[in-house]
Amino acid sequence: MKVRYYYFRDKKNRPIITVCLFKKEENPLVHRGVSICSLKDDPYKVEGRQIAYERALRACFDQMSTEMVNIRLDSPEIAALDTVKKTMTAFWFPYKSTFNAILTDFERRILSGGEATQ
Amino acid residing at 18: T
* pTM reported for the whole predicted model: 0.83
Residue 101, pLDDT above cutoff 80: yes
Q: Residue 60 in contact with residue 99, Cβ under 8 Å?
A: yes
For residues 61 and 86, is the Cβ–Cβ distance under 8 A?
A: no
For residue 55, the one-letter residue type is R
Residue 22 — very low, low, confident or very high, per pLDDT cuts 50/70/90? very high
Dihedrals phi, psi of 57, to nearest 5 degrees:
-65, -40
| Higher per-residue confidence, 20 vs 76 | 20
DSSP of 40-108: TS---HHHHHHHHHHHHHHHHHHTS-EEE----TTSHHHHTS-HHHHHHHHHH-SEEEESS----HHHH
More confident residue, 74 or 7: 7
CB atoms within 10 A of CB 78: 18
